[in-house]
Amino acid sequence: MTKPRVLISDKMDPNAAKIFEERGCDVDVITGETPEQLIARIGDYDGLAIRSSTKVTPAILDAATNLKVIGRAGIGVDNVDIPAASAKGVVVMNTPFGNSITTAEHAIAMIFALARQIPEANAQTQAGKWPKNDFMGVEVTGKTLGLIGAGNIGSIVAARALGLKMKVVAYDPFLTPERAIEMGVEKADLETLLARADFITLHTPLTDQTRNILSAENLAKTKPGVRIVNCARGGLIDEAALKAGLDSGHIAGAALDVFQTEPAKDSPLFGTPNFICTPHLGASTTEAQVNVALQVAEQMADYLVSGGVTNALNMPSLSAEEAPKLRPYMKLAEQLGSLVGQLAHDNLTRIAVEVEGAAAQLNPKPITGAVLAGFMRRYSDTVNMVNAPFLAKERGLDVREIRHDRDGAYNTLVRVTVGTSAGDRSVAGTLFGADQSRLVEIFGVAIEAELTGYMLYIVNEDAPGFIGRIGTLLGEAGINIGTFHLGRRDAGGEAVLLLSVDSPVPEDVLKAACALPGVKIVKALRF
């Protein structure tokens, strides 16, 4: 049997190549090639192991006629065209947890650098000055650290900060009261955190919900003299507003390891007093680079030799026998998870996945994994079916699987229920034919709809004239309606409308829809 061939195209710890060889792969280490050289070479390989230098473009994928897996030693996969890889049937893996400690330690280092103005004091001292009286720092002991994002890296930062005798206040939609107690932090909403924190550090992915989470408006709500650290993702902070806050003195200091545009060779923040920056060094330690190199080699070798799948971004963890039966259910489950995640995402304490009928006869793990992948995708840019259960557990979510042998109204049914501060909220779906997924219930209202593309979710008073008003509003905005689905509990009571539309609905149109008579909730969805 021919051994799988792997190309390591970026500099990586030498032990990675040894792991490939020990597990039955032939490996070549050829780094620093141009895209043209890689295109000429890649057709000979089954696996491609990379860091951040190699850019895996559609042109490279077109030439990769034998490629089965791409492994990124690290978390970010911006240098891989994942849709193109998926279309070619190439699995894309990363190592999302190998550099967590390193990144957390960098954030702590930034906190100390801000507190004692170390970079500027160092520069002036080495310039021959002795500015002993020019730098009056602050202690971190007893100060309040505001943690935005309490996941894997955020929880490590919290532990280190508590060891420094800081108080930690955390904002994270997934952080349960039980998990907060376990971490030793105080759970708070964002406004409370902004008002109380002496230091703020961010540890959240960049999504539509977190982009500019520290906007000009939110920065104005911070405590005077606050110090801000971002070692997570560029774009979480409005950089122009941050500079204005530093210039005014409202913000005492800021330290960025990441920028909205990278490489950040020209930024208005450069040269601003009390501003510190590093060139995206969060994962740059010897230990972290060894960890991610060894992990990616292990994952890729397992896949190429035995078919095992770990930390894949575009492929579920499935055996060959289960896949054909489970795929339609997994699509339905992911859609239901995405729907409930988009509609009920605050103060979540638990999530239950129930299956009945034909679905109850299948392995529930991939179905639950698909639900969690859809549910978590709104908040994480690296979530997949493999790491979604880990991320949910890390945030203290109580995940339950319930199997019913009973016969119901449908031949097969999947129900997803989340516990919120306002009570349980559930959605349910079924399969029509062998593989056509359909929503059949949303928050207690019977409604049949296909979840696809751009959609609008509207809750309104059941009264004459509403359908005409919403149709007119969308029509005048140039938004074409694809499908129209209605449901209600009682005549004249509360009604639910699900619209599929051909394009995203702008914010001003959403606000106009909210202002229509009888409207209670308007939410843009995407599947």
Give the catalytic positions in this structure.
Answer: 233, 262, 280
Token duo for residue 325: 């039966």
> Residue 100 in contact with residue 75, Cβ under 8 Å?
no
CB atoms inside a 10 Å sphere around CB 347 = 17
CA angle at 376 for the pair 430 and 524, rounded to the nearest 5°: 70
Q: For 390, phi and psi rounded to 5 degrees? A: -65, -45
Distance CA 373, CA 154 (A): 20
What count of Cα atoms within 13 Å lies in the side-chain half-sphere of residue 391?
30
Q: Is 175 exposed, middle or buried (0-12, 13-18, 19+ CB in 10 A)?
A: buried
| Bridge partners, 236 (sequence order) | none
> Rounded to whole angstroms, what are the CA distances from 381 to 232, 233, 286, 362?
12, 11, 25, 29
- Extract the runs of DSSP E, i.e. beta strands, from 211-361: 226-230, 251-256, 275-277, 350-357
Helices marked H in 282-428: 286-306, 323-343, 364-376, 388-394
Phi/psi at 512 (5° precision): -65, -40
What is the 8-class DSSP label of residue 257? Answer: S
Q: How far is CA 370 from CA 70, 330, 449, in A?
A: 22, 5, 19
Burial (CB count <10 Å: 0-12, 13-18, 19+), residue 284: middle
- Phi/psi region, residue 462 (left: phi>0; alpha: psi -120 to 50; beta: rest), is beta
And the tokens for 11?
């500099």
Closest CA to 335 of 527, 498, 486, 83: 527
Structure letter (DSSP) for residue 174? T
Within 13 Å, how many C-alpha atoms sit on residue 123's CB side? 8
Q: Shortest CA distance to 523 belongs to which of 444, 458, 441?
A: 458
Report the alpha-carbon distance of residue 314 to residue 42 in Å, rounded: 21
Distance CA 42, CA 65 (A): 8
**Beta strand extents in 74-122 (DSSP E only):** 91-93
DSSP, collapsed to helix, strand or coil, labels residue 165 as: coil
Q: Tell me phi and psi for residue 440, to 5 degrees.
A: -125, -10
